[in-house]
Chains A and B, each alone.
Chain A
Amino acid sequence: MPVLKGFNRIYPSSLNTSREVSADIIPFWHELELAEELICQMELCLVEIVNNVFEHSYHSVEGDKLEIESYCEQGNPTLVVKVSDYGTAMPLDLLDDKLTEEFVVPDPEDPETWTVSNRGLRILQELTDKTEYISEIGRNTLTFFRHTQPESGLDK
């Protein structure tokens, strides 16, 4: 599939990395002429994954390597975003489970429903069309895909 221009940068892991990534990648997505609403949603997905990597793959250790790649496929225009790390891999069933769960509707009478874990992965499920996770030779890559045209029926 032909690819338009791409974004590829490496960052040291920290609590601030998601802010740095956002500041760098949003101008690139504007260059791709993506809709503002789509950019906001993709920024949220990317921030969730970058923070997830820092917290879970690198156990909140600063300075480890994190790579961000993004490009747009032509034809059936799709934005592709990849986040790679070299830390602890996510259990594959965790991602599968979380990506198929629905959000719990918080019940004022049930505190168990107020604070739930892995809300970020569920956000990813809601705002993307497809997610892939590959862990091989010490490198973990989470990729998400989102069609860029609302008329494709993916007007989320």
Chain B
Amino acid sequence: MQYELIEENKYTVLQINEDRFDAKLAPSFRNEIDLVKGNIAEHLVLDLGQVRFMDSSGLGAVMGVYKLLRNTKISIVNPQKSVQELLKLTRIDKLILSHATIEDATSSK
């Protein structure tokens, strides 16, 4: 999985540099999270701006991280329309909030 991890004081940005977040990518996403989970701050910001397509496996991987990092706030930033619609359709938008920018995500309560 192509990604960039940006560590700040109070938050960590995980930028997914992939076109598709699907069943093929999900296992490597889980593996990478396992490797970096010790470095994740109190707020994990998932930057999905480059993800054009997400399926239920990708969504399941995100929910797996939500479960794994139970004491960590998780936000999504910059989702493309298809990803926004998937989050809305599956009601996950009620649990993990999306924001237009990292600044919006990190300044929200």
Interface residue tally on B, bucketed by range: 20 to 34
Contact A15 B24 (CB under 8 A): yes
- A71 smallest CB distance to B (angstroms): 23
- Shortest distance in angstroms between A25's beta carbon and chain B's nearest beta carbon? 13
Interface residue count on the A side (C-beta < 8 Å): 28
Stretch at the interface among B38-46, B90-98, B100-108: B90-98
A111 to B63, CA, bound (A): 10
Measured CB to CB, the nearest residue on chain B to A106 is: B95
Contacts of A18 in B (CB 8 A): 22-24, 55
Q: Which of B23, B63, B89 sits near A114, CB closer than 8 Å?
A: B63
Report A-chain residues with C-beta under 8 Å of the C-beta of B22: 18-19, 47, 51
B91 touches A47 (CB 8 A): no
Q: Is the CB of A123 within 8 A of B89?
A: yes
B89 touches A126 (CB 8 A): yes
A105 touches B (CB below 8 Å) = yes
| Complex-state Cα separation, A16 to B86, whole angstroms | 21
What residues of A have a CB within 8 angstroms of the CB of B63 in the complex?
A: 106, 114-115
Partner of A115, one of B60, B70, B86, B89: B60
What residues of chain A have their CB less than 8 Å away from a CB belonging to chain B?
A: 15-16, 18-19, 22, 40, 43-44, 47-48, 51, 54-55, 103-108, 111, 114-115, 119-120, 122-123, 126-127
13 A–B contacts from the bound complex (CB under 8 Å): A40-B85, A44-B86, A55-B23, A105-B91, A105-B94, A107-B95, A114-B63, A114-B66, A115-B64, A119-B56, A119-B60, A119-B90, A126-B89
